[in-house]
Each structure stands twice: as structure tokens, then as C-alpha cells.
């Protein structure tokens, strides 16, 4: 059964991902693919570079080398020709300004018209500056045609269909559970500034639907009826599950869980395993786990990848990894020679 899943088309392909911090190579040339609908895990001793790798996948930090492709689109890679980007957006304004200046020197343009052109140039500069800050998708695509590339930011990854949770829970603690999920639904909702100001009917309907969907998600992770509790007041295990619900709210295709069982008791871990399996079977999700809890990892994964000192030292089914001498060495140390 698990073999079938691993033969699926890859949803995410990391190719030779490397990340250096000064002289330290935190992640070194890691190739990594996640087949669709698979549950794959990333393990390794402390400091192996798991979280760095994870952050590269999510666009939180740029890789020093290599690239990450998600659903066929290159999302994360080393930035290319960034210097040209500012040129692209300054150039039109500069050309216009220069033209106006030359015309004014020649005596053709003057007075109020010149002031108007100056104003136009200023507005053009502001608009292009804003464009370069906000970076809408069409702008990025235009740029990539010119050979200018910049890694996707975390919010771009969410929009592309990646959800995540954090190693140390990062809920919006003073918001209620349901509000947390609603924030997670951000990319699915369309209400904008203007609509909010006029309180449009479409937006109100959308909000009602969002509320219903959020309640469904809470029920799915087992938090039904706790929607109005402040996140800070929920017990630890519930907070973990709320974080998963929040990540699910953006309807991701790929869910990245960073040590979801950390700090859980055996019963809670058991529930978590059931939940993760349910997510795959019911929502058709692909899941990447980073985990220390070996029992959980071995029990649930289709495939396990082991990192040590930033390098991939083993990859395979739980059985293969368990017997791999390199893995045993990494965890327990080399036998005395």
C-alpha cells in the first residue's frame, strides 16, 4: 500500500538545497521529494538542520543554493539579478523625468505643464515602489520573464497551497479559537478594504460561510464547541490541535507539521496519529512531519528521511531506516574502534 503512495507524482521537489550561515553549513545539498498524498517524515538528532530545511521550504529563509519547486512552480531559490528589479521600476519614471527636463531646457515645456509632469513622475515612482513592496503575483511573473527572481515569501507559499504549524506553538493567543481559524482562512476570503467600508452583502455572506467552515474545522480536529475560548486558555493539547485547524483553514495541499507531538502525553500523541491519518484519508492531504517521537514517526510515515549535520544520510521506509547503520550511528554514536 505504502509503495503505491510513494510512486505518486511529486507535489514538492527540493533540489540540492543548501543553506550556509557564515562558515556553518546548516543544510547541505539536500534532495527531497514529497509524493502526493504521502506522509513523509524528516528526522535527525538535535542541530541536524531539520528546522532550517523546513524554513527554506516555506520561504522563511532564502537558500544559499538549490531550489524548491511546488506543484511544478519554482517557488524558492537563490535570488537572481535582484539589482535589475529596482532598475525596472525606476526606469520609466527616470526616462519621463529626463524627457521633461530636456523639453523644458529646449523651451517647449514650461510652467504648469512641467510641474504636472514632475507630479506624474513622482506618482509613478511611488506606484512602482509600492509594487515592488507588495509584489502581487502578476508582478512576480512579469519579473521572472525578465530573469529576475526572488523567493516566495511565507504568505505566497500559503497562497500556493502549503500550510504549516510551529515547533513552539504560535497561536494568536489573545484571540478566540474561532478567530484563529478565521485568520487562517485569510487567503480563501476575498473581502477587501472597500467592501469592508460599505459592508457589502457579498462580504457578509462570505463571513457567515467562513464562520461555518471554521466551526467545521474545529469539529474536525476535535475542538467542537470550544470556538469562543481564548486560545491562551485552551489546554496544551488543544492548542496544538487548534494550530492544525488554523493551518487547514487555507485549504492546503501540503501540510508541514513541525514537531506536532512535542510535549504531548502518550494518549494525546495517539489522538494526534489518528488525526493525521484522518487528514490524509478525508482531505487528501500530503503531510511532511518533523518529529522526535520515534514511535509516532515509525508508525505513521510512508517514508523517512534522516538528516545529520545538514546532510541527508538515509532515506527509506521506516523498516529500512530503523536498520540503517548510519542512522544508528548518528543517534547513538559510532562503536569504539
Q: State the minimum distance, in angstroms, from the CB of residue 202 to other proteins.
A: 12
Which of 204, 153, 160, 163 lies closest to 183, judged by CA?
Answer: 163
Q: How far apart (Å, rounded) are the C-alpha atoms in residues 260 and 262?
A: 6
Is residue 16 a contact residue for other proteins (CB under 8 A)?
Answer: no
Which DSSP string corresponds to 74-108? EEEE--BSHHHHHHHHHHHHHHHHHHHHHHHHTTS
Cβ proximity to other proteins, 249 vs 304, nearer residue: 249
Per CB under 8 A, which of residues 125..144 are in contact with other proteins? 126, 129-130, 133-135
Asked if 106 touches other proteins (CB under 8 A), the answer is: no
**Alpha carbons 121 and 118: distance in angstroms, whole number:** 5
Confirm or reject binding of residue 46 to other proteins (CB under 8 A): no
State the minimum distance, in angstroms, from the CB of residue 204 to other proteins.
9
* Out of 25, 104, 109, 189, the residue judged to bind other proteins by CB under 8 A: 189
User: 297: which DSSP letter?
Assistant: H
| Cell numbers given for 301 | 510515515
State in angstroms the smallest separation of the CB of 1 from other proteins: 32
262 lines the binding site for other proteins (CB under 8 A): no
294 in contact with other proteins (CB under 8 A)? no
Terminal Cα-to-Cα distance of the chain (whole angstroms)? 41
Q: Does 164 help bind other proteins (rule: CB under 8 A)?
A: yes
Which residues, including other chains, have CB under 8 Å from residue 317's CB and lie 6 or more apart?
2, 302, 303, 304
Q: How far apart are CA 147 and CA 172, in angstroms?
A: 38
Binding-site size, other proteins (CB under 8 A)? 51
Beta carbon of residue 160, minimum distance to other proteins (angstroms, whole number):
10
Q: Name which position in 58, 221, 254, 304 contacts other proteins (CB under 8 A).
A: 58
CA angle 257, 258, 260 (to 5 degrees): 75
Query: Using the rule CB under 8 A, which residue among 246, 253, 280, 303 binds other proteins?
Result: 246
Closest CA to 313 of 300, 328, 302: 328
Is 197 a residue that touches other proteins (CB under 8 A)? yes
Say whether 212 sits in a helix, a strand or coil: helix
The Cα 48–Cα 26 span in angstroms is 7
User: At closest approach, how far in Å is the CB of 147 from other proteins?
Assistant: 24
Nearer to other proteins by Cβ, of 231 and 306: the residue is: 231
Query: Least distance (Å) from other proteins to the CB of residue 183?
Result: 5
Does 6 sit near other proteins (CB under 8 A)? Answer: no
Instruction: With contacts defined by CB under 8 A, name the span among 21-29, 101-109, 197-205, 313-321 that binds other proteins.
Output: 197-205
Between 178 and 261, whose beta carbon lies closer to other proteins? 178
- 5 scored as a contact of other proteins (CB under 8 A): no
**Residues with Cβ within 8 Å of residue 136, at least 6 apart in sequence:** none
Q: How far is CA 119 from CA 45, 106, 124, 128, in A?
A: 59, 20, 9, 14
Select the residue interacting with other proteins from 3, 145, 201, 228 (CB under 8 A).
228
Beta strand 73-77 pairing with 65-70: antiparallel
In the complex, the residues that contact other proteins under the rule CB under 8 A are: 58, 60, 111-112, 115, 126, 129-130, 133-135, 153-155, 158-159, 164, 166, 170-175, 179, 182-184, 186-187, 189, 191-193, 195-197, 199, 203, 207, 225, 227-228, 230, 232-233, 235, 246-247, 249-250
Amino acid at each position: 500500500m505504502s509503495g503505491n503512495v510513494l510512486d505518486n507524482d511529486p507535489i514538492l521537489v527540493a533540489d540540492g538545497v543548501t543553506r550556509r550561515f557564515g562558515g556553518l553549513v546548516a543544510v547541505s545539498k539536500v534532495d527531497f521529494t514529497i509524493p502526493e498524498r504521502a506522509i513523509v517524515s524528516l528526522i535527525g538528532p538535535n542541530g541536524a538542520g531539520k528546522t532550517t530545511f523546513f524554513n527554506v521550504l516555506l520561504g522563511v529563509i532564502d537558500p544559499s543554493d538549490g531550489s524548491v519547486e511546488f506543484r511544478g512552480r519554482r517557488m524558492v531559490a537563490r535570488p537572481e539579478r535582484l539589482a535589475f528589479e529596482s532598475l525596472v521600476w525606476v526606469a520609466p519614471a527616470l526616462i519621463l523625468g529626463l524627457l521633461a527636463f530636456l523639453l523644458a531646457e529646449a523651451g517647449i515645456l514650461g510652467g504648469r505643464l512641467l510641474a504636472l509632469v514632475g507630479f506624474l513622475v513622482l506618482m509613478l515612482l511611488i506606484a512602482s515602489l509600492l509594487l515592488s513592496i507588495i509584489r502581487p503575483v502578476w508582478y512576480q511573473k512579469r519579473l521572472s520573464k525578465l530573469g529576475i527572481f526572488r523567493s516566495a515569501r511565507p504568505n505566497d507559499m500559503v497562497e500556493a497551497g502549503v500550510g504549516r504549524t510551529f515547533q513552539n506553538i504560535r497561536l494568536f493567543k489573545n484571540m478566540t479559537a474561532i478567530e484563529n481559524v478565521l485568520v487562517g482562512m485569510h487567503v480563501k476570503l476575498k473581502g477587501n478594504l472597500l467592501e469592508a467600508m460599505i459592508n457589502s452583502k457579498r462580504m457578509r455572506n462570505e463571513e457567515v460561510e467562513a464562520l461555518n467552515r471554521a466551526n467545521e474545522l474545529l469539529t474536525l480536529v476535535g475542538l467542537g464547541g470550544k470556538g469562543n475560548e481564548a486560545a491562551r486558555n485552551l489546554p496544551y493539547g488543544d492548542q496544538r490541535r487548534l494550530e492544525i485547524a488554523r493551518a487547514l483553514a487555507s485549504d492546503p495541499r501540503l501540510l508541514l507539521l513541525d514537531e506536532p507531538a512535542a510535549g504531548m502525553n502518550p494518549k494525546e500523541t495517539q489522538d494526534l496519529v489518528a488525526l493525521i491519518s484522518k487528514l490524509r484519508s478525508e482531505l487528501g492531504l500530503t503531510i511532511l512531519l518533523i518529529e522526535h517521537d520515534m514511535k509516532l514517526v515509525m508508525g505513521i510515515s510512508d517514508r523517512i528521511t534522516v538528516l545529520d549535520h545538514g546532510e541527508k544520510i538515509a532515506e527509506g521506509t521506516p523498516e529500512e531506516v530503523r536498520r540503517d547503520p548510519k542512522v544508528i550511528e548518528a543517534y547513538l554514536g559510532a562503536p569504539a574502534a
